[in-house]
Amino acid sequence: MAEERPAALARIQTDSVVEMLRDFYPDLRFEIVAMSTTGDKILDTALSKIGEKSLFTKELENALERNEVDLVVHSLKDLPTSLPPGFTIGAICKRENPLDAVVFHPKNSGKTLSLLPEKSVIGTSSLRRAAQLKKKFPQLEFRDIRGNLNTRLKKLDEKEDFSAIILAAAGLKRMGWENRIGQLLSPEDCLYAVGQGALAVEVRAKDQEILNMVSALHDGETVLCCIAERAFMKRLEGGCSVPVAVNTMLKDGQLYLTGAVYSLDGSDSLKETMQTSVNYPQRNEDGPNDDVQHVGITAKNVPGQAQEAAESLGVELASLLLSKGAKHILSVARQLNDAC
């Protein structure tokens, strides 16, 4: 039984996971249960202001705990880096494009951000996007926009409030709206959110049967990239209310992680890149370390040493930024955001 939030994107994401599970287990029957979360209901406040870390997850975890559902499909970027006791991420599916995308008002079709008139208003619900883009495009104005994808696109198209909005490319692609992407923001323009573009399946940590079942969906490369990103975020104690951004790449057995923190207006920032080898063989070790979690993720079919290396990479990169003053940048950003 899979469960998700009622917005169209959540349904599409859940359907795609159930489809993959059906391919692996054609004899099993899956029932989808739609539920709302606090984050879905509070649409008049910026996400960064609400301050609840489990905004999109609490109600769903309650249903898991009561055995009303057996697995929950999330956008990984909605999941806190520390899950409540008794839960784990049992699968991370192959990542969709993690980059951010610009969708333009029809009258600006064919333009890029740099070609928009001065003082053009850009909509985004993300402090991370706003901080980076304010620095890069100081001639533009950035305003908060909330609501699901459909709502945001409607606000863009039917009113004159926004010249463009910034959204995750992955969500647009999953919704079949790739043709609305007017500009993809490269990591040089805008580093993405931790876990962006990846789907996660949350399960009860002690439910071995379900854990074994969903583990077939793990994509090894995505798992290692996301462990590094989540470890980086956790060490920084980042979240929705501060601008933290990443870019990861796995190439020839080397995992590269770029991480950055920003002040709210992007004027102050720290950015560094580190790498580590994740080229380790898979060992078949049954024992007490069987269900070890790395930043909330259980992935027995991904080499344990590679997961440890990925987690260490995230922690070390965050520690490097902290040694250069990241804590001050983030605490000022947090205070300013609370005061706004």
Name the active-site residue from 15, 44, 78, 338. Answer: 78
Spatial CB neighbours of 63, under 8 Å, sequence gap ≥ 6: 3, 33, 35, 69, 72
Dihedral (C-alpha) 76, 79, 82, 83: value to the nearest 10 degrees? -110
Provide long-range contacts, Cβ within 8 A and 24+ apart, for 79-84: 79/195, 79/200, 79/202, 79/296, 80/53, 80/54, 80/239, 80/296, 81/194, 81/230, 81/231, 81/233, 81/234, 81/295, 81/296, 82/234, 82/295, 82/296, 83/202, 83/296, 84/54
List the one residue out of 179, 172, 116, 180 whose CA is nearest residue 142.
116
User: Catalytic: 78?
Assistant: yes
Beta bridge partners of 104: 164
φ/ψ of 102, rounded to 5, equals: -105, 130
Distance CA 241, CA 77 (A): 13
Token pair for 34 = 């739609």
Instruction: Map residue 285 onto helix, strand or coil.
Output: coil
Residue 209 tokens, joined: 């049967």
- Catalytic machinery residues: 78
